[in-house]
Structure 1
Amino acid sequence: MYAAERQHWLLTRTREDGRVDVASVAQELDVTPETIRRDLGTLERQGLVRRVHGGAIPADRLDFEPALGQRDTLASQEKERIAKAALAELEGCLTVLLDAGTTTARLAQTLPTDREITVVTNSLSIASILATRPNVIVRLLGGRVRGTTMATVDDWMTDTLATLTVDVAFVGTNGFSPERGLTTPDPAEAAAKRAMIAAARRTVVLADAAKYGTDQFTRFARLDQVDALVTDTDLDDDAAAAIEAAGPRVVRA
């Protein structure tokens, strides 16, 4: 494959999936990661993509969201490790708030079975996972359902959250950085996440390292508004130090 063909393929993949991961596409195309980085650099100079930690996103689509099924296949091993590491943040908690997302859904699947827990969520998928668990009381937040994320949003959801206090909220994010904090493409989902943080005694953000530096359209929190960030080992030491300097404790799984 010639360089121009490869760059066209990379641009198409970036626009379809919302991002590309250097290591993954290098393996798929049977080229070195350095080759992919050079190609992405060329595309960035043309204003077609924006380089982020470990890959790239479309430059003209900061409000782009991959569908739930697409996101579930991205960084799946990392998300499994993050979910297992996040269990340590549940110690002493009886009420838990789970944000909609593929990493929080994995946490839902691994919740302990040896004690009763009340789980509040705006995710239809998470409610379905937990509905038959005998030790879990599920309280599903109402509101408008976004088909992209299967999450409830808007006033019905945020007004209910304003009346609640939970021990810990596990919140997802589409992007995080020391400069811009926590960001997501959709303003309605951003408002939902803000309400979750306000309702929780502690807030733990679950995000794979590929989202580092991927600042999205809407900011919903500063880093100093959350207590911990659970991510994976692809987040390097310098990035982890910058995150901790901005506020939250960083756990790399």
Structure 2
Amino acid sequence: MYAEERQQAIAELISTRGRISVADLSSTYGVTTETVRRDLAILDRLGVVRRVHGGAVPASALTATEPGVGEREYTRAEQKDAIAAAALDFLPPPGGSTVLDAGTTTGRLAALLSSERELILITNSVPIGARVAPLTGIKLRMLGGRVRGTTQAAVGEEALAALAWLRTDVAFIGTNALSLGHGLSTPDSDEAAVKRAMVRSANHVVVLADSSKIGREHLVSFARLDDIDVLITDDGIDDNDHKSLTDQGIEVVIA
């Protein structure tokens, strides 16, 4: 196979499968990892793929755009429901405290809470706050600040100042993307700042992310992988990604 043919085949494979490692491409096409890296460098310059730590992703996987809550609510809904149900096992004991990040998967977790559960819950999400407020066993604390229309989440100095004084048992964090090289990331810097503060405020960090987020990267990183204790995802996670994350000391739970 000529180099040009191999590069075209690599581009088509990445477009179909999403993130692929250098090692997998080397094995698939029977060439050295150095040759694969040269092929990826050429494809990256052409704007066909984007190189990430250990491999490559489709060019569309690296983006600064952000879909709104309404658009994301029904995307991969079955997987998000399963992830939220699995997250119940990681709630603190009665009377404990948790931070619940804004997001459609964390919102599903909030929808599973009942009045019988005794919990201090802190959130920056307007929809989550509205959903939890009537539950008598839950002491709700809303973070203030400017509310972003895209995510319906409070961001800015008020939210950051409140989080700086908190130490919670568990933080449930959503993310737009997760990769080995860039950690957890999101398109908006204000949103990233609040997520970063939530991670720092918690003794235990549980990330809720369906498998489509894994191997992707967005503009602003808000946490390293070693900041995470648990990742709850679905069975669509790539075996290599699963191993890489567990090698980082992360408990990976398949919902």
TM-score (norm: length of structure 1) = 0.77
1:134 offset after TM fit, Å? 1.5
From 132, 136, 146, the equivalent of 1:134 is 136
Aligned to 2:74: 73
1:92 offset after TM fit, Å? 1.9
3-state SS in 1 of match to 2:240: helix
Runs of 4+ in 1 over 4 A off after TM superposition: 43-46, 48-53
Aligned to 2:65: 64
Question: In structure 2, what residue type is equivalent to 1:77?
Answer: E
TM-score (norm: length of structure 2) = 0.76
Q: Greater shift after overlay, 63-72 or 44-53?
A: 44-53
Aligned to 1:9: none
Cα distance in 2, alignment partners of residues 134 and 48 from structure 1: 53
Question: In structure 2, what residue type is equivalent to 1:125?
Answer: P
Cα distance in 2, alignment partners of residues 91 and 99 from structure 1: 16
Aligned to 1:37: none
Cα pair 1:203 1:228 within 8 Å, conserved: yes
Cα distance in 2, alignment partners of residues 243 and 112 from structure 1: 32
1:236 offset after TM fit, Å? 2.5
Identity of aligned residues (%): 45
Within a 5 Å distance, the mapping from 1:128-167 to structure 2 comes to 128-167=130-169
1:115 offset after TM fit, Å? 2.8
Cα distance in 1, alignment partners of residues 66 and 180 from structure 2: 22
**Gap change, CA 1:49 and 1:101, over 3 Å in 2:** farther
Cα pair 1:178 1:246 within 8 Å, conserved: no
Alignment RMSD, CA only?
2.5
Cα pair 1:166 1:199 within 8 Å, conserved: yes
Within a 5 Å distance, the mapping from 1:47-126 to structure 2 comes to 47=47, 58=60, 62-92=63-93, 94-126=96-128
Cα pair 1:184 1:219 within 8 Å, conserved: yes
The superposition leaves residues 148-189 of structure 1 with CA deviations (integer Å, 9 ceiling, x where unpaired) of 000111110001000111110000000001221111111111
Cα pair 1:225 1:247 within 8 Å, conserved: no
Cα pair 1:116 1:135 within 8 Å, conserved: yes
Q: Computing the radius of gyration over CA atoms, which structure comes out larger, 1 or 2? A: 2
3-state SS in 2 of match to 1:235: coil
Cα pair 2:178 2:216 within 8 Å, conserved: yes
Q: Greater shift after overlay, 109-118 or 163-172?
A: 109-118
1:21 offset after TM fit, Å? 9.2
From 235, 242, 246, the equivalent of 2:244 is 242
Q: Which residues of structure 1 form unaligned runs of 5+?
A: 1-19, 23-42
Cα distance in 2, alignment partners of residues 75 and 135 from structure 1: 30
3-state SS in 2 of match to 1:120: strand
1:114 offset after TM fit, Å? 2.7
1:62 offset after TM fit, Å? 1.6
